[in-house]
A and B are shown apart, each in its own frame.
Chain A
Amino acid sequence: MYKAFLIKYAEIGLKGNNRYLFENALRDRIAGVLRPLGDYRVTKEQGRIFVECPDGYDYEETVQALQRVFGISSICPVVVIGSSDWDSLTKGVGDYVEAMYPDRNFTFKVMAKRADKNYPLTSPEICSNMGAYLLRRFPELKVDVHKPEVRINVEVRTKSYVYSIVIEGPGGMPVGTNGKAMLLLSGGIDSPVAGYMISKRGVSMAAVYFHAPPYTSERAKQKVVDLAKKLSMYTGKMKLFVVNFTDIQLYIYDKCPHDELTIIMRRYMMRIAEKLAEQENCLGLVTGESIGQVASQTMQSLASTNEVCTIPVYRPLIAFDKKDIVEISERIDTYETSIQPFEDCCTIFVAKHPVTKPNLKAIRNSERRLEDKIDEMVMTAIETASVIDIE
């Protein structure tokens, strides 16, 4: 019965002169996610985005796609009434109620908006007159203006729209309106969630994965590619950098104390990510770290990995419990992929008893043992990184 959707957005409304940039970005994202589904028409209309659906479109599929577009606060399936003259309008709204609610034993309220200020009736008049019409046509209806069970929304524009269902959107801001960040994507549960959360604030994403063959397999890498694809359902297309980290890892193993391996390794991952971020015009790094989750994420460890870069590092999960992270990853459908057991054999690089409170001075001292070759190795790792375009 619905041939179109009215899309409402919240925070964009707050923006001043560059509001149109946000609206255009949202419109383009919506058009982008709907393009593979069919021939939809997406237009901007006075504080709303209007989506017209092709014949035979799939309602569920369309709503699901729209629910992945950051910036949308609500999705309203609407019935379009071709003409806005009063007789057509009342008949259209009445027919809508008749079709939508076979059992009309409920309380309601009409809410009206008119974008066409020359319309002969004001918004309050539309509400009361429409309410009166509906009560006449369906005597079993009752009005309740305070706590109605059904809100019948009527928007009068060149055409008119009626809707009573409001589906929650993901909120946030359209991707691309807040710059770009580099996500450290590991294949675990946390990092895709971190990317999702930052992207929700309008940030587009690039990602970097540290691959350590033969200690990690092609399948482990494929899993990260799969995760990036899942994430890109929300973030739009992104570049995934695959950095070969084996030589650096082995060099650290050879030169540094074993209980510090993980921390030092992570410090080099951050350094490489920062360089790639600069290359890609990213304004920050994003990690899935959460205080105390593992030895390398204690406050001391975080301080140690944090000090090696100057670019801001965003850690949206920093105060989240694991179960809350899992909940989000299930909701955004990355969980199943994250828990696939392509276990890397990197465990040889994890000390049996890693430091949990690394001393900054000691770590810096240990790193000095790498001075001979490490800069060159980092350069090589960056230069030889392969790029996978995720769409």
Chain B
Amino acid sequence: MNVYLDNSATTKITDGVRDIMLKALCEDYGNPSSMHIMGVNAERYIKNAAKQIADSLKVDPKEIIFTSGGTEANNLALIGAAMAYQRWGRHIITTRIEHPSVHQPLLFLEENGYKTDFVPVDNSGKILKDKLYNLINDETIIVSVMYVNNEIGAVQDIEEISEQIKAIKKDIILHVDCIQAYGKYRIYPKRMGIDILSISGHKIHGPKGIGALYVNDGVRLKPIVFGGGHQRGLRSGTENVPAIAGLGQAAEELHQNLEQKVHKMYELKLNFIKEIIKLDGVTVNGLPEECAKEPSMELIKQTAPHIISVSFKGVRGEVLLHALEERGVYVSSGSACSSHNTHQSPTLTAIGIPKDLMESTLRISLSEMTTQEELDYTINQIKDILPYLRRYIRK
């Protein structure tokens, strides 16, 4: 049995996505900037995709910019806004559990004269909001907070944060990395007060190499890629038409019956957690405290529907990962295993996981395609392997 539980790394594309991509790739291969009919046909895919995404966010298609992926979307959002608004100030606030594609551009901006602050989180991965609000000063131009954390599935109260920060300083730009959240929540940036929002294609059953940014009409960005002035000069380069079409298609498919799909994932997650915590020396990370002992649907729903971070005491995460791989189950490890230096996950560090457990942590991530049967199989395999792996420890 093959069980793919690494959906936060990437997802399988749907048949609908495949079909439209093949058509754009093989038949309508014109350059969308060309003046002839083939160019017009190619451009239609882009317009259509922009509309599909805009509809899902309830925004104007003009507010969508396509990028080469989530990483570029986050880079363009942060560097582009920091450059555009540097006259107002050079202070940016973010959290300690952001993805490297947010963290690294901010370090780059620090090198270039900006000041950044990283807000800590509690044990369940929720940011300490008061700390965030206290950090805002006259120089603050951007606050960047991820919606759903990619390692533990912690969810932030974006709407509340937006309201509060804008009450303190109304022209702050709020960037939200929605790469893990898009397609799991109905996200309406206008209502929620999100100014810039990043999404990625391959996390939502779309293709790799494509992402998009929603940029509120009233927000200016400076481009970080220069060239022929495509996409209103914000992102030069001939558009990746097949991938854009695939992203649009994925976005549309995903938002059909979204509530049902998400509810099913929550049920799977709840059942999985209930079973896994019965095992000795197993803890689930990033849950509200009460939930870690007595999981309930109500509490589980405070976290993302698809991400489960589990630590297995006395077992190297990577060894368990490979043992599961031998049995057809594919998951991620929380931290790379290495005898020389351990790459520590900033997120797991931020929520206070001890170092020995960090090396024993796996991330199991579901999608709408995941079934109860697959998770039952996975639990059984883990039950089977754990005692065996625990017998062999370094002496």
State whether A352 and B322 are in contact (beta carbons under 8 Å apart), knowing that A343-B339, A343-B340, A345-B316 are contacts in the complex: no
User: Which of the segments B85-93, B194-202, B234-242, B387-395 contacts the partner chain?
Assistant: B387-395
Chain A interface extent, by class: 10 to 19
User: Which of the segments A124-132, A177-185, A209-217, A356-364 contacts the partner chain?
Assistant: A209-217
Say if the beta carbon of B221 comes within 8 Å of chain A.
no
A352 touches B326 (CB 8 A): no
Q: Cα distance A348–B395 when bound, in Å?
A: 7
Say if the beta carbon of B279 comes within 8 Å of chain A.
no
Q: What's the least CB distance linking B358 to chain A, in Å?
A: 15
B338 touches A351 (CB 8 A): no
Say if the beta carbon of A250 comes within 8 Å of chain B.
yes
Say if the beta carbon of B192 comes within 8 Å of chain A.
no
Q: Mark B332-372, 1 if CB is under 8 A from A, else 0.
A: 00001111100000000000000000000000000000000
Q: Cα distance A350–B392 when bound, in Å?
A: 11
Say if the beta carbon of A113 comes within 8 Å of chain B.
no
Q: From the candidates B337, B338, B392, name the one contacting A253 in the complex (CB within 8 A).
A: B392
Could you say which residues of chain A place their CB within 8 Å of the CB of B316?
345, 348
A215 touches B395 (CB 8 A): no
Could you say which residues of chain A place their CB within 8 Å of the CB of B340?
341, 343
Say if the beta carbon of A279 comes within 8 Å of chain B.
no
Could you say which residues of chain B place their CB within 8 Å of the CB of A351?
394-395
Name the CB-closest residue of A to B320: A214
State whether A214 and B319 are in contact (beta carbons under 8 Å apart), knowing that A343-B339, A343-B340, A345-B337 are contacts in the complex: yes
State whether A348 and B394 are in contact (beta carbons under 8 Å apart), knowing that A214-B322, A215-B319, A217-B322 are contacts in the complex: yes
B338 touches A213 (CB 8 A): no
Q: Cα distance A111–B76 when bound, in Å?
A: 66
Q: Cα distance A343–B340 when bound, in Å?
A: 8
B318 touches A217 (CB 8 A): yes
Could you say which residues of chain A place their CB within 8 Å of the CB of B339?
343, 345, 347
Name the CB-closest residue of A to B340: A343
Q: What's the least CB distance linking A355 to chain B, in Å?
A: 13
Q: Cα distance A336–B6 when bound, in Å?
A: 29
Say if the beta carbon of B110 comes within 8 Å of chain A.
no
Q: Cα distance A350–B337 when bound, in Å?
A: 15
Q: What's the least CB distance linking A260 to chain B, in Å?
A: 12
Say if the beta carbon of B138 comes within 8 Å of chain A.
no
Q: Cα distance A218–B337 when bound, in Å?
A: 14
A352 touches B394 (CB 8 A): yes
Say if the beta carbon of B121 comes within 8 Å of chain A.
no
The interface centre, meaning the residue of B338, B340, B394, B395 with most chain A CB atoms within 10 A of its CB, is B395
Interface residues of A in 232-266 (CB under 8 A from B): 250, 253, 258
Q: What's the least CB distance linking B324 to chain A, in Å?
A: 8
Could you say which residues of chain A place their CB within 8 Å of the CB of B325?
214, 218
Q: Cα distance A215–B325 when bound, in Å?
A: 12
Q: From the candidates A214, A343, A350, name the one contacting B323 in the complex (CB within 8 A).
A: A214
Q: What's the least CB distance linking A261 to chain B, in Å?
A: 9
Could you say which residues of chain B place their CB within 8 Å of the CB of A348?
316, 392-394
The interface centre, meaning the residue of A253, A343, A350 with most chain B CB atoms within 10 A of its CB, is A343
A350 touches B318 (CB 8 A): no
Q: Cα distance A213–B338 when bound, in Å?
A: 15
Could you say which residues of chain A place their CB within 8 Å of the CB of B393?
348
Could you say which residues of chain B place their CB within 8 Å of the CB of A347?
339, 394
Name the CB-closest residue of B to A353: B395
Q: Cα distance A343–B341 when bound, in Å?
A: 10
Q: From the candidates A258, A345, A352, name the one contacting B319 in the complex (CB within 8 A).
A: A345
B338 touches A215 (CB 8 A): no
Q: Mark A329-350, 1 if CB is under 8 A from B, else 0.
A: 0000000000001010101111
Q: Cα distance A217–B326 when bound, in Å?
A: 10
**Interface SS of A by simple majority:** loop
A352 touches B338 (CB 8 A): no
Q: What's the least CB distance linking B183 to chain A, in Å?
A: 30
Q: Cα distance A181–B316 when bound, in Å?
A: 37
The interface centre, meaning the residue of B326, B338, B340 with most chain A CB atoms within 10 A of its CB, is B338
Could you say which residues of chain B place their CB within 8 Å of the CB of A217?
318, 322
Could you say which residues of chain B place their CB within 8 Å of the CB of A352?
394-395
Could you say which residues of chain A place their CB within 8 Å of the CB of B394?
347-352
Q: Cα distance A253–B392 when bound, in Å?
A: 8
Could you say which residues of chain A place their CB within 8 Å of the CB of B336?
343
Could you say which residues of chain B place their CB within 8 Å of the CB of A215?
319, 322
Could you say which residues of chain B place their CB within 8 Å of the CB of A350?
394
Could you say which residues of chain B place their CB within 8 Å of the CB of A341?
338, 340
Q: From the candidates A213, A216, A250, name the one contacting B392 in the complex (CB within 8 A).
A: A250
State whether A213 and B318 are in contact (beta carbons under 8 Å apart), knowing that A348-B392, A352-B395 are contacts in the complex: no
The interface centre, meaning the residue of A341, A345, A351 with most chain B CB atoms within 10 A of its CB, is A345
Q: Cα distance A250–B389 when bound, in Å?
A: 10
Q: What's the least CB distance linking B339 to chain A, in Å?
A: 4
Name the CB-closest residue of B to A347: B339
Could you say which residues of chain B place their CB within 8 Å of the CB of A218?
322, 325
Q: What's the least CB distance linking B165 to chain A, in Å?
A: 40
Q: Cα distance A253–B339 when bound, in Å?
A: 19
Q: What's the least CB distance linking B361 to chain A, in Å?
A: 14
Q: What's the least CB distance linking A246 to chain B, in Å?
A: 10
The interface centre, meaning the residue of B319, B321, B326 with most chain A CB atoms within 10 A of its CB, is B319
Interface residues of A in 11-30 (CB under 8 A from B): none
State whether A258 and B395 are in contact (beta carbons under 8 Å apart), knowing that A343-B337, A343-B340 are contacts in the complex: yes
Could you say which residues of chain B place their CB within 8 Å of the CB of A250?
392
B395 touches A213 (CB 8 A): no
Could you say which residues of chain B place their CB within 8 Å of the CB of A214?
319-323, 325-326
State whether A345 and B395 are in contact (beta carbons under 8 Å apart), knowing that A213-B326, A214-B323 are contacts in the complex: no
Q: Mark A121-157, 1 if CB is under 8 A from B, else 0.
A: 0000000000000000000000000000000000000
Q: What's the least CB distance linking A386 to chain B, in Å?
A: 15
Name the CB-closest residue of B to A215: B319
Could you say which residues of chain A place their CB within 8 Å of the CB of B337?
343, 345
Q: Cα distance A345–B339 when bound, in Å?
A: 7
Could you say which residues of chain A place their CB within 8 Å of the CB of B395?
258, 351-352
Could you say which residues of chain A place their CB within 8 Å of the CB of B318?
217, 345
Q: What's the least CB distance linking B336 to chain A, in Å?
A: 8
A-B pairs, top 4 by smallest CB distance, nearest first, are A214-B322, A214-B323, A343-B338, A347-B339
Apart from the given pairs A214-B322, A214-B325, A215-B319, 10 other A-B contacts in the complex at a CB distance below 8 Å: A213-B323, A213-B326, A214-B326, A215-B322, A216-B322, A218-B322, A258-B395, A345-B318, A347-B394, A348-B392
Task: Pick 21 A–B contacts, CB within 8 A, sort by A.
Answer: A214-B321, A214-B322, A215-B319, A215-B322, A218-B322, A218-B325, A253-B392, A258-B395, A341-B338, A343-B336, A343-B338, A343-B339, A343-B340, A345-B316, A345-B318, A345-B339, A347-B339, A347-B394, A350-B394, A351-B394, A352-B394
User: Chain B residues in contact with chain A, CB under 8 A?
Assistant: 316, 318-323, 325-326, 336-340, 392-395
